Amino acid sequence: MQKRWNGLWGSVCLGLMLSGCGGSGGMSGARPAEMNIALLGFNDFHGNLEAPGVAIRTTNAAGQSVAVPAGGAAYLAGAIAQRRSANQHMAVVTAGDMVGASPMVSSLFLDEPTVEALNLMGIDFSATGNHEYDQGSQELLRMQNGGCEKYTSKEPCQISKPFKGAQFPFLAANTLRADGSPLLRSSGVKFFEENGARIGVGFIGTTLKTTPRMVRQSGVQGLTFADEADTANALIPALRAQGADVIVVLIHEGGYATSGLQDASCAGLSGDILPILDKLSAEVDVVISGHTHQAYLCDYQRVNPAKPFLLTSAGRYGTLLTEVQLKVNTASRKVTAKSARQIIVQGEAITTGSTKVPLQTEFPVFAADSAVSQLVSTYRTAVAPLAAKISGVLDGSALRSANSAGESVLGRMVADSMLHATSDAASGGAQIALMNSGGVRADLVPESASGEVTYGQLYSVLPFGNNLVVMSYTGEQLQRLLELQFNSGTNTVTQPRILQISNGFSYEFDLNQPAGQRIANMRLNNDPIQASSTYRVAIQSYLSTGGDNFSTFTEGKDVIGGMIDLDAFVAYVRERSAQQPMALPTTPRIVRR
């Protein structure tokens, strides 16, 4: 039977669906004056079923800085199980981007294995992030409800026949259909009981309202994304009526902080989540956030005394779990104390490049969950033959790390592959290619001294499956769209979003100049770009609809569609390395004044 989670969940607990829901400590003791409730939160998992090769930098008991290897779905499940055994009352929740931009072992199967792994972990509620909409709203509903309907170019139900969908509700309170109804569930309540005391914790899930600028327009057609704070505040009375004593907001928006891993001082807190926090009701007790891939803890009343909630984020890729501890007075039904800590999901040693990161035994080492391990193994085996296929040879490592102008070697390489695939007249006659940096998802490091790279590695660089698009823009429009790198929504002077550019195109920028005058000396093959002349530009379908706040891209004319970006990238690497290792594009094309 299909599951349907639309609208508010009633006050019933649905204990069979939510593990530990309504758990009772029995009636043998006296009614407690306080109840301890734990929340485990994480965010931006992005289908990282296998250990992502990430080390968490922290400080040990001796005050020394150490790198702790982290991540892997089986170890994440093991950590959740260990914390569940240590806490009588606990909920496990996420703040979005569980799927999308995933490694091949998940994304090749439309992230079905990630949802299945989350089911095994016993997730209670999951907010949607922008990446949950990457494949469109119908595919998101399939992720929730299950089934094998085909909504994308990839085949569903390749392993699981049928795919059963998420056994937990996705929450998307501010994602609305044309008639104003929510696309998915808005909120839910989990109840905890102990010796006659009963406390309800209400959860509201929202994605960032700028989601339409971050995904294909066709994927969110007919949907609107309402203000995050206004939506959450409006739901609190209904949650109270259902019995929620504690209010938790799961939001896929985030910030940045300069504080240490376990420091809740909010030092250096900045980012797009701040105006949302300042609009949220003071009735909110905890905000579990995401999107920026940053780890932070923040006692927000230190920033705004009128907003005494706890703010957390657990970084990315399942490398951290945030454990929030709440003390709730069972008479007043109010939170009397709250704290949070980050748990590093350490399970196995890793190697990043040529650096080995050993286990740090002074920090907890978690056992792998056997069921999740078996699940990951099944999908790894299925994908292995294609992933291991050699697709080219490089003369070095192509990395995403950017220079002072925001360019990376791998970004240039991807842009060059786009231009190569679209430069002939039949494919669009592109003269320039522009690539969004955020779409380049993994470094390309040869696995051996010979420089060989595999299809699986190339897939990890471009996992979204965007189509290439060629459109015409005037020189004046090119100037305006490049200016948007520094002055458009989340693209700012302090946090610019630099587009990667193809060979032959170049320009300079000066952030000390006024908005609209920062781009200068645009050239194509050393000839100045003329404001009134028309140029053919290759971009991804994501950017063509104004993604990443680049609204000027929507002004393009004479559209010609092209192949999938990954296919273009694979063909380019294979061709350029057919006779000898491919030389990497190390020469800068953008000059920062």
Q: What is the pLDDT of residues 213-265, one digit of tens each?
A: 788 777 899 999 999 999 999 999 999 999 999 999 999 999 999 999 999 99
Is the per-residue pLDDT at 19 higher than 50? no
For the residues 287-305, what does the mean pLDDT come to? 97
Which three-class secondary structure state does DSSP give residue 523?
Answer: strand
Which three-class secondary structure state does DSSP give residue 459?
Answer: helix
Which distant-in-sequence residues (6+ apart) come within 8 Å of 433 by Cβ? 415, 416, 418, 419, 422, 501, 502, 537, 538, 539
For the residues 525-553, what does the mean pLDDT come to? 94
Lookup: tokens for 480: 């305006």
- Phi/psi region, residue 519 (left: phi>0; alpha: psi -120 to 50; beta: rest), is beta
pLDDT for res 25: 41
By the 8 A CB rule, do 366 and 69 touch?
Answer: no
Which three-class secondary structure state does DSSP give residue 182?
Answer: strand
Q: Which of 95, 71, 41, 550 is nearest to 291 (CA)?
A: 95
pLDDT for res 464: 86
pLDDT for res 23: 39
pLDDT for res 24: 39
CA–CA gap between residue 82 and residue 201 (Å, rounded): 22
Q: Give the single-character DSSP code of 217.
A: G
CA–centroid distance for 248 within its chain: 20
Lookup: tokens for 80: 């959740």
Give the relative orientation of helices 565-576 and 409-422 as an angle to the nearest 10 degrees.
100
Lookup: tokens for 411: 């970004």
pLDDT for res 75: 98
14 confidence band (pLDDT: 50, 70, 90): very low
By the 8 A CB rule, do 213 and 548 touch?
Answer: yes
pLDDT for res 485: 97
Higher-pLDDT residue of 319 and 11 is 319
Q: Is the preceding omega at residue 385 within 30 degrees of 0, hence cis?
A: no
CA–CA gap between residue 483 and residue 516 (Å, rounded): 6
CA–CA gap between residue 509 and residue 436 (Å, rounded): 17
By the 8 A CB rule, do 391 and 543 touch?
Answer: no
Give the relative orientation of helices 73-86 and 370-387 as an angle to the nearest 10 degrees.
170
CA–CA gap between residue 488 and residue 478 (Å, rounded): 15
Is the per-residue pLDDT at 27 higher than 50? no
Dihedral sign (CA 371, 105, 132, 248): positive
CA–CA gap between residue 517 and residue 534 (Å, rounded): 21
Which distant-in-sequence residues (6+ apart) come within 8 Å of 379 by Cβ? 49, 105, 106, 109, 113, 159
Q: Give 112-154 as a DSSP string.
A: HHHHHHHHHHT--EEE--GGGGTT-HHHHHHHHH------SSS
For the residues 125-129, what does the mean pLDDT come to? 98
Lookup: tokens for 159: 């392993």
Hey, how many other C-beta atoms are within 10 angstroms of the C-beta on 533?
Answer: 14
Q: What is the pLDDT of residues 541-587, one digit of tens each?
A: 889 888 899 999 999 999 998 888 999 999 999 999 999 999 999 99
CA–CA gap between residue 411 and residue 415 (Å, rounded): 6
For the residues 453-465, what does the mean pLDDT come to? 93
pLDDT for res 29: 81
Which three-class secondary structure state does DSSP give residue 345?
Answer: coil
CA–CA gap between residue 234 and residue 256 (Å, rounded): 27
10 confidence band (pLDDT: 50, 70, 90): very low
Is the per-residue pLDDT at 94 higher than 90? yes
Q: What are the angstrom distances between the C-alpha of 159 and each of 277, 376, 481?
A: 42, 12, 43
Is the per-residue pLDDT at 196 higher than 60? yes
Which three-class secondary structure state does DSSP give residue 421?
Answer: helix
CA–CA gap between residue 468 and residue 568 (Å, rounded): 9
Q: Give the single-character DSSP code of 96.
A: S
For the residues 278-293, what does the mean pLDDT come to? 97
Residues in the chain: 593
pLDDT for res 319: 98
Q: Which of 472, 465, 450, 467 is nearest to 582 (CA)?
A: 450
448 confidence band (pLDDT: 50, 70, 90): confident
For the residues 453-476, what does the mean pLDDT come to? 93
Q: What is the pLDDT of residues 39-64, one digit of tens each?
A: 999 999 999 999 999 999 999 999 99
pLDDT for res 351: 85
Give the DSSP H or E segment for 483: helix 475-483
Percent of the chain residues past pLDDT 90, beyond the cut = 87
What one-letter code names the amino acid at 225?
F
Is the per-residue pLDDT at 302 higher than 50? yes
CA–CA gap between residue 191 and residue 411 (Å, rounded): 48
8 confidence band (pLDDT: 50, 70, 90): very low
For the residues 172-199, what does the mean pLDDT come to? 97
Which distant-in-sequence residues (6+ apart) come within 8 Å of 370 by Cβ? 74
28 confidence band (pLDDT: 50, 70, 90): low
* Lowest pLDDT segment from 23-27, 179-183, 204-208, 518-522: 23-27
For the residues 27-34, what does the mean pLDDT come to? 83
Q: What is the pLDDT of residues 477-508, one digit of tens each?
A: 999 999 999 999 889 999 999 999 999 999 99
DSSP lists the bridge partners of residue 265 as 298
Q: Over the chain, what is the mean pLDDT? A: 93
Which three-class secondary structure state does DSSP give residue 355?
Answer: strand
For the residues 507-515, what does the mean pLDDT come to? 96
pLDDT for res 353: 65
Q: Domains in the chain and their CATH numbers? A: 34-379 (3.60.21.10), 390-592 (3.90.780.10)
For the residues 373-400, what does the mean pLDDT come to? 96
By the 8 A CB rule, do 542 and 467 touch?
Answer: no
For the residues 346-361, what does the mean pLDDT come to? 90
Cα-only R_g, the chain? 24
Dihedral sign (CA 28, 29, 34, 38): negative
CA–CA gap between residue 215 and residue 546 (Å, rounded): 9
Interstrand relation of 246-252 and 590-592 (parallel, antiparallel or unpaired)? unpaired
Give the relative orientation of helices 112-121 and 73-86 as an angle to the nearest 10 degrees.
20
CA–CA gap between residue 105 and residue 108 (Å, rounded): 6
DSSP lists the bridge partners of residue 338 as 326
Q: What is the pLDDT of residues 410-440, one digit of tens each?
A: 999 999 999 999 999 989 999 999 999 999 9
